[in-house]
């Protein structure tokens, strides 16, 4: 945990219904993502190992920001709280050439720009059922993985491209639309050749999900997936 720095990608998985539904439906280990940020004693963003560690992430309900006390969907959570509430916690270190002093300013500006946005439940459901989310729909509402990738698109000093999708695909080393990115897809297992990160490092693993809870959750996930595929069948035929 002491090695995590501002700008690193945080990936987690828990046994809540929404997280298990996301992980199972996408076939990936991780169900949530965010950005690591350290703040020093002067409440300024730190680019070193010194400072209190937070994760800046999108949540499905409003809660208290552990850094500034505001109540938002997109907020800071103390990293120690994440460790206590998740089954798996990992991070992908940002490559050193992108961890510049300018990242402090762009990160602060990014938070101030997006702190009042809302969680986009529709994008999660569309992603689960294999639909691409229209860019016009997600301008003001985001899922955790969409806002995470938006951070890297806007904050990292990266080479210029003609449009956002081409830039994102070059960053990740794959061809995919932003709205179809899930937290699990950002792991090194699925993106081993990304230009942004090193391999992910698991720092906490406690997969103690009760069989009864897991069975109930899996049954609900399967039911939702069946409904989704039925709706897709109706739409296409």
CATH number of the domain enclosing 29: 3.90.1720.10
Query: How many helices and strands, by DSSP H and E, does the chain display?
Result: 7, 9
Residue 213's pLDDT is: 52
Share of the chain above pLDDT 90, in %: 46
Query: Does residue 213 sit within a domain?
Result: no
What value does the mean pLDDT take over residues 221-225? 75
What value does the mean pLDDT take over residues 36-48? 96
The pTM of this model reads: 0.78
Query: Does residue 21 sit within a domain?
Result: yes
Query: Does residue 187 sit within a domain?
Result: yes
Domain that holds residue 41: 9-208
> How many of the other CB atoms lie within 10 Å of CB of 136?
7
Query: Does residue 181 sit within a domain?
Result: yes
What value does the mean pLDDT take over residues 181-189? 85
Query: Does residue 179 sit within a domain?
Result: yes
Query: Does residue 106 sit within a domain?
Result: yes
pLDDT surpasses 80 at 232: no
CA atoms within 13 A on the CB side of 79: 26
**Residue, of 81 and 224, whose pLDDT is higher:** 81
Residue 136's pLDDT is: 44
Task: Give the tokens for residue 113.
Answer: 């720009």
Each residue of 97-129: pLDDT tens digit?
999 999 999 999 999 999 998 876 555 554 444
Question: How many separate domains does the chain show?
Answer: 1
What value does the mean pLDDT take over residues 39-61? 94
Query: Does residue 221 sit within a domain?
Result: no
| 3-state secondary structure string across 21-77 | HHHHHHCCCCCEEEEEEEECCCCCEECCCCCEEEEEEEEEEEEECCCCCCEEEEEEE
Which pLDDT band, with edges at 50, 70 and 90, does 44 fall under? very high
Contact predicate 184/90, CB 8 Å: no
Query: Does residue 235 sit within a domain?
Result: no
Each residue of 69-84: pLDDT tens digit?
999 999 999 999 988 8
């Amino acid at each position: 945990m002491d090695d995590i720095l501002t700008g690193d990608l945080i990936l987690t998985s828990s046994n809540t219904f929404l997280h298990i539904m996301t992980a199972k439906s996408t076939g990936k280990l991780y169900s949530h993502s965010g950005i690591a940020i350290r703040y020093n004693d002067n409440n300024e963003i730190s680019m070193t190992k010194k400072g209190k560690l937070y994760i800046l992430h999108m949540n499905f309900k409003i809660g208290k920001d552990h850094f500034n006390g505001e109540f938002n969907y997109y907020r800071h959570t103390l990293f120690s709280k994440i460790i206590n509430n998740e089954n798996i916690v990992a991070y992908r270190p940002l490559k050193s050439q992108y961890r510049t002093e300018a990242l402090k300013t762009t990160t602060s500006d990014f938070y101030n720009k997006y702190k009042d946005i809302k969680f986009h439940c529709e994008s999660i459901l569309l992603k689960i059922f294999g639909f691409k989310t229209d860019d016009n729909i997600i301008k003001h509402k985001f899922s955790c993985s969409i806002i995470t990738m938006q951070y890297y698109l806007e904050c990292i000093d990266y080479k210029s491209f003609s449009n956002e999708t081409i830039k994102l695909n070059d960053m990740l080393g794959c061809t995919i639309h932003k709205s179809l990115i899930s937290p699990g897809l950002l792991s090194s297992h699925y993106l081993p050749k990304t230009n942004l990160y090193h391999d992910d490092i698991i720092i906490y693993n406690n997969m103690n999900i009760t069989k009864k809870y897991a069975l109930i959750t899996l049954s609900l996930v399967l039911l939702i997936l069946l409904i989704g595929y039925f709706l897709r069948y109706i739409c296409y035929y």
